A and B are shown apart, each in its own frame.
Chain A
Amino acid sequence: MMAGLILFSVSCATLEKGLDAVSAVDSSDVEDAVKITQAVRKSFAEITEGEEYYIGRAVAALVLSRYPVYNNTSLTTYINKVGQAVAIHSDRPEIYAGYHFLVLDTDEVNALSAPGGFIFITKGLLKRCRNEEMLANILSHEVGHVAAKHGLQSIKKSRLVDAFKVMGETAARRYAPEEVAELTNLFEQALGDIVEKLIERGYDRKYEYEADKLGVKGAATTGYDPSGMAAFLQTMVDDSAGQEGKGWFKTHPSAKDRLGKVTKQISSIKPVPSEQNVRTGRFQQAMKSVK
């Protein structure tokens, strides 16, 4: 026993203070434990899963205020199955409330992913896909944006710093009304930052390159032929004159640059999964009802 005490090498004073601290614990201290002292946060990386989810909900609501939903149950179910297949093979398979996919009723060729896993794909983009491989690669790209938190990184740093200051050093369970008002102001501004990138200007090229890389990797790991991404980008290269400045065509870098990088990445994947007739068949079946 004495040897054990020596091993810990604690001073007599410290031991006595420790004993005092332990004996002082009572129910009010346990109550106080809920008010947790922690350092003020500083970056997007410290946004919690739950916060990301609430940000994502609002971004999704804003997307849905701009585009109507293509309400086709069997198609939506199919898209969600493809989406889940690639999501579980992503770098972040489990997120707060999971990944969810919806089709938007527009002929614009676009796919959008909000933080928290709310992923949208347009009817226009779907019609460009020839098979499940192309669809899976695109969904894997969008999952990649979520997994790598590109949406959250779009929030201006100063906005985040201000929000974290309001949340403060001591996190109580509920905010006072004036704190809610101030946080909601910052929340609205943060949404604005994200929506500007997501819908209006497009992500910076580094995020698109990264999502392409993650998308190809995720699709191949799932068992999809990654050349589905190259094939889709080729359609964009071939058609850039027609769709310049909208949706997936709005992003920088150009489809040609992206195609070059993706092709190089695919050549390094060994072995490369191949397209399967059964998948093409079920894709065609799901697309039959799409007008």
Chain B
Amino acid sequence: MSKTLRIRTLVFAILTILVTFLIAENLFVKVQSARLRKEPKFYAATIVFLKAGESVVKISSQGGWYLVKTAGGIKGWLHSSAVQRKKVDLVTMDKSLKAKASAEEVALASKGFNEQVEKEYKARNKDISFAWVDKMLAIKVTPEQLRKFLQEGKLAEFGGGP
């Protein structure tokens, strides 16, 4: 095989792999912590928590939910509002290198108004307390509590009918 042909073959192989990667729909968690659930319901049991920026591969979709597989091979359901699609950039032919995956972009999601800015804001406004803001965030309704509340109240799929 000539040198030119070997080079072309190698690049073709690389491009094929990249295109294949493009076709597989990768999704990225865009919320702080997303529950990967056993079923496509908000009160379903949690399999694992995924962090902002983590990538998953979409397997199928159902009514606003995605069945996905994590990098570790765990399958479960994520709601579509917890994830975003990102184009995977091919390595550019330019001198600058674009991010090869957008996990970094998502991880930098709060690159604008972020913890650093909040810290400066607090330093300038010592009379503004964030104590109750943090207490608010600590108030949680577990999936089981939610299921029980909906069921007892005859709401959602537990509805008592019109």
Contacts and interface: CB of A to CB of B under 8 A. Distances in A.
B121 A184 contact: yes
B120 A184 contact: yes
A54 B133 contact: no
B104 A34 contact: yes
Interface string B89-128: 0011100111110001100111111111110110011011
Contacts of B145: 81
Interface string A1-30: 100110010101011111101100100010
Contacts of A50: 32, 52, 109-110, 114
Report the contact-size class of chain A (Cβ under 8 Å from the partner).
35 or more
Nearest to B82: A94
Contact of B132 (A77, A95, A102, A278): A102
Interface stretch (B54-62, B69-77, B153-161): B153-161
A95 B153 CA distance: 25
B7 A16 contact: yes
B131 to A, nearest CB: 9
Interface string A211-241: 0000000000011100000000000000000
B49 interface: no
B121 A175 contact: no
A36 B113 contact: no
B141 A47 contact: no
A64 B132 contact: yes
B98 A173 contact: no
A61 B133 contact: yes
A97 B110 CA distance: 13
B129 interface: yes
A54 B162 contact: no
A274 B162 contact: yes
Contacts of B79: 93-94
A51 B113 contact: yes
Interface stretch (A83-91, A200-208, A243-251, A256-264): A83-91
A92 interface: yes
Which are the 3 A-B pairs with shortest beta-carbon distances? A50-B110, A271-B162, A223-B155
Interface of A: 1, 4-5, 8, 10, 12, 14-19, 21-22, 25, 29, 32-34, 36-38, 47-51, 53-55, 57-58, 60-62, 64-65, 69, 76-77, 80-81, 84-85, 88-89, 92-98, 100-102, 118, 132, 163-164, 167, 171-175, 180-181, 183-184, 187-188, 190, 222-224, 271-274, 276, 278-279, 282
